[in-house]
């Protein structure tokens, strides 16, 4: 299945990551939000370099790093792959702002839960290897998403209490993917974030979260 077409499905099913030993679980969105641990957040000690990325990617034979592997997976029209995994042509759908993008250089790979937010929510206590695994997570279709650079930079490191995609009709999808990622990695949410997620979930009848805990 082409990852860029995931918006067509209400039920988002992550792919099993390498070495994964945990069964996937499906929950109604409101119940999934209720399963998020509640905790205060702190950014003390955060440094983006604590999350090493982009690494060589999942396919060590293709010469592409994680960024380019995500671009290839999410392309609606595949780009040509040149020497050193240089991508030319292709077409992508940036679902945050409902824009077609026709150049890989105009796309960012967004961490659904930004690195700083992950740090605040529990990653501060992880090993460097686990933070690297998080920053390059291709074991779930929703952890990393190709979107327009403009929309990604508008989001920055904000949680759903502070930012939601400008395209209103994708809010349910976005919240599902946010909650999925937090549950997958055992990350917490603070009071304002939980309130925002619950408010959105109340209007997302029929939406479910299917997640597989990261190994």
Q: In 3-state terms, what secondary structure has residue 170?
A: helix
pLDDT at 60: 82
> What is the percentage of the chain residues whose pLDDT exceeds 90?
85
Interval 173-183 mean pLDDT: 98
* Percentage helix, strand, coil for the chain under 3-state DSSP, each rounded to 5: 40, 15, 45
Span 174-198, average pLDDT: 98
In the DSSP assignment, the letter for residue 207 is: -
| Those residues with Cβ within 8 angstroms of residue 57's Cβ, 6 or more apart along the chain or in another chain | 64, 65, 66, 68, 69, 136, 138
- For the cut 80, the answer to whether the pLDDT of residue 200 exceeds it is yes
Phi, psi dihedrals of residue 147, rounded to the nearest 5°:
-140, 165
Q: Are 160 and 200 in contact (CB under 8 A)?
A: yes
Helix (H, G, I), strand (E, B) or coil at 17: coil
Burial call 139-157: b when 16+ CB within 10 Å, e when fewer: bbbbbbbbbbebbbeebeb
* pTM across the whole model: 0.89
Does the structure show a pLDDT above 50 at 177?
A: yes
- Whole-number average pLDDT of the chain: 91
Whether 3 shows a pLDDT value over 90: the answer reads no
Residue 2 has pLDDT above 70, yes or no: no
**Burial of 125: CB neighbours in 10 Å, binned 0-12, 13-18, 19+:** exposed
Cα–Cα distance measured from residue 131 to residue 118, given in angstroms and rounded to the nearest whole number: 9
Model confidence pLDDT, tens digit, residues 27-54: 999 999 999 999 999 999 999 999 999 9
Q: What is the pLDDT of residues 161-175, one digit of tens each?
A: 999 999 999 999 999
- Give the pLDDT confidence score for residue 59 in this predicted structure: 86
CA 126 to CA 118: how far, in whole Å? 10
Neighbours of 95 (CB within 10 A): 23
User: What is the pLDDT, as a whole number, of residue 76?
Assistant: 98
**Structural domain harbouring 173:** 3-211
Token output for 153 = 């930079």
Show the tokens assigned to 164.
Answer: 């939601």
Domain count, the chain: 1
Q: Is 23 a residue whose pLDDT tops 50?
A: yes
Evaluate if residue 16 carries a pLDDT over 80: no
Average pLDDT value for residue range 66-74: 97
């Amino acid at each position: 299945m082409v990852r860029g077409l995931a918006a067509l499905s209400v039920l988002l099913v992550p792919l099993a990551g390498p070495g994964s030993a945990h069964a996937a679980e499906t929950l109604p969105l409101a119940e999934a939000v209720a399963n998020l641990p509640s905790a205060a957040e702190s950014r003390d000690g955060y440094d983006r370099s604590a999350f090493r990325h982009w690494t060589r990617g999942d396919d060590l034979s293709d010469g592409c790093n994680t960024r380019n592997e995500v671009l290839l997976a999410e392309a609606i029209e595949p780009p040509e792959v040149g020497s050193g995994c240089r991508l030319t042509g292709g077409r992508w759908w940036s679902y945050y702002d409902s824009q077609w993008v026709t150049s890989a250089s105009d796309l960012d790979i967004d961490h659904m839960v930004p690195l700083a937010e992950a740090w605040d929510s529990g990653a501060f206590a992880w090993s460097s290897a686990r933070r690297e695994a998080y920053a390059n997570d291709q074991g779930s279709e929703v952890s990393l998403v190709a979107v327009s650079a403009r929309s990604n930079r508008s989001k920055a490191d904000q949680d759903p209490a502070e930012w939601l995609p400008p395209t209103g009709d994708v809010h349910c999808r976005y919240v599902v993917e946010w909650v999925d990622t937090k549950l997958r990695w055992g990350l917490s949410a603070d009071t304002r974030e939980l309130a925002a997620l619950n408010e959105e979930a109340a209007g997302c009848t029929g939406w479910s979260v299917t997640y597989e805990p990261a190994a």
